[in-house]
Amino acid sequence: MITFIQTYGGQLLYKIWQHIYISGIALALGVLIAVPLGVMLTRLKKASTVIIEIASVLQTIPALALLAMMIPIFGIGAIPAIVALFIYSLLPILRNTYLGLNGVDPSLKDAAKGMGMTSLQSIIKVELPMAVPVIMSGIRLSATYVIAWTALASYIGAGGLGDFIFNGLNLYRTDLILGGSIPVILLALLVDWLLGKLEVQLTPKTTSHAKL
């Protein structure tokens, strides 16, 4: 591994940056879209089942097939990879946001209403804070998925650590395979740990649990 770092250290840092860039933007878009949509679905009971089912169907499409489907629309490179991974990130976040908000104690919602809070104030000040553990669980799951699947983005010219992995497979080079795989695993573990710390900070103290 030391020899690999000495030989490919510069490339490794660049590939790690590409990997973080692609997966980070895809996950951020997933959070920005799925959390508000999940909140909205708690107020639209009839539409919720249909939309969550659509998200579920999209996630059943094989990752490589979805990446390939993006090529005729967006070409090759980082953009189609980000769009495909964004689609994959939606379901866990959307579903957990919906379930988390629906799982908030009705008495707390009634108390917020009794205090004169509007529906929006109740969501921001009461429901979302109480649902943080469930929502963050979905975000952490999506983050793990996206970081792992970003390796496949190499197939459509997006770069990232997948370049090392697939070059290693093509050349029968174990050092290249491990040089790409190990950083992906470490990156997923690091991001999950950081999100776990964020979850603890965001969770109201009255409902927080000892974690990590």
Parse the chain into domains and list their residue ranges: 2-202
pLDDT band at 1 (very low <50, low <70, confident <90, very high): low
- The predicted pLDDT at position 207 comes to 46
Look at 14-23, 49-58, 64-73, 198-207 and tell me which has the smallest mean pLDDT.
Answer: 198-207
According to CATH, the superfamily of the domain at 2-202 is MetI-like (1.10.3720.10)
Look at 6-10, 31-35, 137-141 and tell me which has the smallest mean pLDDT.
Answer: 6-10
pLDDT band at 206 (very low <50, low <70, confident <90, very high): low
Query: Both tokens of residue 7?
Result: 């030989």
Query: How many angstroms separate the CA atoms of 186 and 202, rounded?
Result: 24
Query: How many angstroms separate the CA atoms of 188 and 133, rounded?
Result: 19
Between the CA of residue 92 and those of 89, 140, 160, what are the distances in Å? 7, 9, 24
3-class secondary-structure state, position 41: helix
For 118-158, how does the pLDDT look when each residue is reduced to its tens digit (9 = 90+)? 888 888 888 888 999 999 999 999 999 999 999 998 888 88
Query: Both tokens of residue 114?
Result: 């009794």
**CA 176 to chain CA mean position, Å:** 26
